[in-house]
Structure 1
Amino acid sequence: MQRKRRGIVSLRLLLLLFTGSLILLLLVVSLLAGMVGFRGYIVEQLAGHANDGAVAVGLSLSNAIDGRDPVASSSLIDATFDSGRYLSVRYNNVAQEFVIERQDEAQTYGVPSWFVDMMHLPLEEFRAQASVMRGWQFLGTVEVTSHPGAGYLDLWRMARRLALGTLVIGGGALLMLYLILRRTLRPLIGLERQAEAIRRRDFRFKAPDAGTRELARVTSAMNQMANDLGALFEGQAKLIAHLRQMNNEDRLTGVASRSAFDQRLRVAVETQESRRQGVLVMMQLAGFGEFNNLHGRSKADDILQTVAKRLKAFERMHPGSFTGRRAGAEFALFLPGAAIVDARFWMQSLVTELDGIYSDRAVGMDVAVHAGLAVATELSTVERLFEACDEALRQAQVSHESGCKVFDAAQSTQHGVELWRQHLQTALDNEAVKLLFQPLFRTSDHQVHYYQVLSRLDIDGEWVAAGVFVPMAERFQMMAQLDLLVVTRILAVLQQHPEAEFGITLGTSSLADETFRNRLNEILTGGMGLRKRLWICLEEDAVHHHRKEVGLCVRMLRRLGVRVLVDHFGVGGVPFSYLRNLPFQALRMDPSFIHNIDTHPDNRFYLESIVPIAHSRGVEVFVAGVETAAEWHVVAEAGVDGGTGYHLARPDENLP
């Protein structure tokens, strides 16, 4: 993730500061020029006022009043000075040798001293003299100095008006400039958001049209680039889907191909990490070759597609199960964790249903549907399991009637449905859950990225792995209770290990339960500082069947800061183009793609195609089920970010 760059001024602010500074500079210069001009005007006014006063007093002393009389002259001087407009009035009678002078302090009421100091009106410039004459006799001189207080007051008033006008005009100009820049540069905000969206590999956002020619060209180019990148990403997503379909699915029916089914079954039955008990079923439509010759390929293909559709519906009712087409009209189905007595009941019902569909299409023909069942135990291998299933299928084919047969070597070790329900409920009520921790190592430095949490349930005195009890817990809608218990315990573990991170896989039925999602929200909201170190893993199959509910859950988790991982990627059938709309941070490939990947070029090519596309979206790619050094070497070369497996580390109750 890019670090946010701090301390960088935005273009709009820079333009606003630069242009606004110019406007303010012009206004300040205009203000100063106006004040200098008005000061000169005041000086001229005071000088003229002093000259007029001196002339008036001189004429009065020369004509109206006898300037030789000190008393009369003093009365005139007092009257003139008392008007308050003069700082000083002085009459120097040379003839009689007397002086009459009145003088005031140069006080400026209501004007700040700093303003007086700054403007400084020179007294010598508004001081004037006049001569006093009696006929041709020179009596003396009159000197008058105008009082500067009125001038300072006028200057102060003018300065405030000019400053207010400057502020109003400047503020209005800045506001108008801000609005113009905001409107003009608005497309840049759209471009920034678009660039951020492109960084997140979201190419749907389009920058708004710009009002200027240059920005319009830039936004047009960016929008075109986003369209091109979006088309490229869609093409890559379609390529992934196509590669997965070619590698995993039977082209006609849409169920798993023979190689994909065998690979997934091998992981489920043989690998140490994912080993599961269960029941393998092989099903065949008898007389299909004759039906094909009689009714044509189109009708035959329609029958196969109908059977596959019904098998897919059966998968949805039994979480964890998977189906594949072996060859022709032969299908295979694996039921993990199922008891043989229950599997036989389910298969008998399914065979009867398919027989009705087949018979209706093949009117007048002798057709049947046969199924063979074999139990997978911890000691089973895929080859022996298929041999047992073939033997059971041949026994079923002995009869020309539809039906199923069981090759059962371990029936006594299997629990029935009701017994499973009782054991599961007892274990959950007693919270008889044990947590194991399997580290996921980074390929870059071989350090632990986080610990994947695996659960074990105490079933009839034996700690049973999740691969065995999860299918039954999903069927009985008990996964929500188990997941909440595990989440609560992991939050306590997070407190004890402040540096570690943990991953928890939620059940499919849990995600579909609104009550569970609300309760999960409450629990994680309480774990304020802990949830940042938590990974919530969602099965791709859950995303496929509960898209709306999963979308709500993922967005809730992201609001809380919890990281989300799509688990068992590659077998759930979810288009990558849909996953890119969910805010998840990582995906983990299903072990069936990793098992013997060093000798499986198709799976290697698929993994090498997934990694760069996921990385381009900012999504980490992990793998599961690494059991050999060769497998780890191949996935590391493919560029994956990390992986789990018995080759790297086995699950353990204790954390280092």
Structure 2
Amino acid sequence: MQPDPNATALVEALSGSGAAGGLALETLRQILDAVPVRVAVLDRDRRHIYGNRPYLEMVDRSLDQLVGRTLGDLMGDKAMRNMAGHVKRALAGHIAESEGWVQQPNGEQRCIHRVYAPYRGADGAVVGYFVILQDVTDRRQSQDDLFRLAYYDPVTGLANRLMLLKHMADYCAEKEPFTLVIVDIDRFADIRTSLGQAFANELLGDLASRLGEQGGAFDLIARVSDHAFALLVAGPCDRPAVERALEELAAVVRSARSSSGAAVFMSASIGVATAEPSHERPEDVLRDAEIATGRSRELGGGRQSWFDPAMHAHVVEQIRLEHDLRGALSRGEGLWVAYQPIVEMVTGGLAGFEALVRWTHPERGNIPPGVFIPIAESTGLVVALGSWVLREACRQIADWQDKRAPGSAPLFMSVNLSARQLSDPGFVEVVREVLRETKVEPAWLKLELTESAVMDKAEQSIRLLQDLRTLGIKLSIDDFGTGYSSLSYLHKLPIDSLKVDRSFVSAMHHSEENRAIVRIIMDLARLLGFDVIAEGIETSADANLLRALACDYGQGYHFARPLPPADAEKLLGGELPWQAPW
């Protein structure tokens, strides 16, 4: 076949060997040799008629050695066949592109972007084609890095939440049923705080590896939060098979170790949800699985829960109540403080009150403390709520001191302190400001803390209690005997009182052993220099027995229920309905 005259003229011009050269073509040739892109021109028979310097370096040929040879001559028939489709499109007058990894002569893998474009003669007919090759390895690696950052967890190497949602979206688009399992490590924040982030990351890495070994049962394993993993199972839900897998997962969590072999006891709250027609988005399935996980956590952790719609309704109700509680707190509407009298057991006189927060909802009426206090605790609202109660109670006791019976001892006000407040570094300053604002004598205020709140972080709690004690206020351990106090810490606590839990008081009449428990608590309190308050006194028999045991103070329905401020104020004059000749 005779060479195309246009192609011959082009190669002569670009090579600088023909009369068709000139300044413009010389400039073009230098540009083509300088750019970091490989350019070649081939005729309709796929024979090279030109290649720029980078292209010649790639094929390790001079221009004279290149011209007239096909790609097959240079790189073999396989390379020729791989590009046949793109060449055909270019010769048909279209532009074709492709991108892929190519092994270089030195064995290195490089990502090459290829463009095939038609080369037209003066009459517009396609007389050959251009091949433009660009090394995009760096760009591709950057894209891959960005993809990994976007869709994979850097600590465990597992897929992340976005990748999980992408997979679930694909299943939903194909109407493929699936089941989602969430494995949430219990107390992970405590492990990380106590042993450090590096140790926690080692545990996560080991756990991810162990979960991967269970991969046969799951189609995707992802890390979806700081301490939670998600496992995706495609196909109709086989509940017995999933539950067997859940037992294996619980064992896997318990077996996790750091890279040094160190171990801590770990358990997991596990939640399961299946994709249903009612789920409009993949996020809805994930939401339900996380709700079920939350239910497992509420039940104490280390267990499994399957989602049911009632759980969602409960969560929605909790969110609504949280919203309303925030509004009530910010506006100061609906919240009020009830006051339960605390009685001096020997004389029956009024010693003080315990402040107990109440909430009258504008639409739902009275919301029990057992409903809204846990919401406040879980959301952190309890810090603001507790400060509000403290301020209200202090204002009230300051007002009542001037109204008490002549000659009677000053009343004290007990206010409950939550674990969240105890861990708030600014709490001591809050108490100091409230005392200054309400002009309350510090000795009139007694803060009550639960055993578990104090002992959870004992050393930190002791420091905070010492700071509070420096202000001159009194401190009490509430619900004593129901937590896990250590005697080695109890004598270090700068407290004034122990409050005997109502469960011990109500059980005193059932056996001598129960009475002995109360007696031991009182003996321990006296040994350590504390006074004792018994709560939950329901009957005169309870009161008489506690009086015989030399209990200092008591409160309960036998004396009075928690009272609105106006009713509680009526007791200040000295006429106490529970008093009678002993």
* TM-score by shorter chain over 0.5: no
Structure with the larger RCO, 1 or 2 (CA within 8 Å, 6+ apart): 1
Compute the TM-score of the two structures, normalised by the length of structure 2.
0.43
Larger helix fraction of residues: 1
Compute the TM-score of the two structures, normalised by the length of structure 1.
0.39
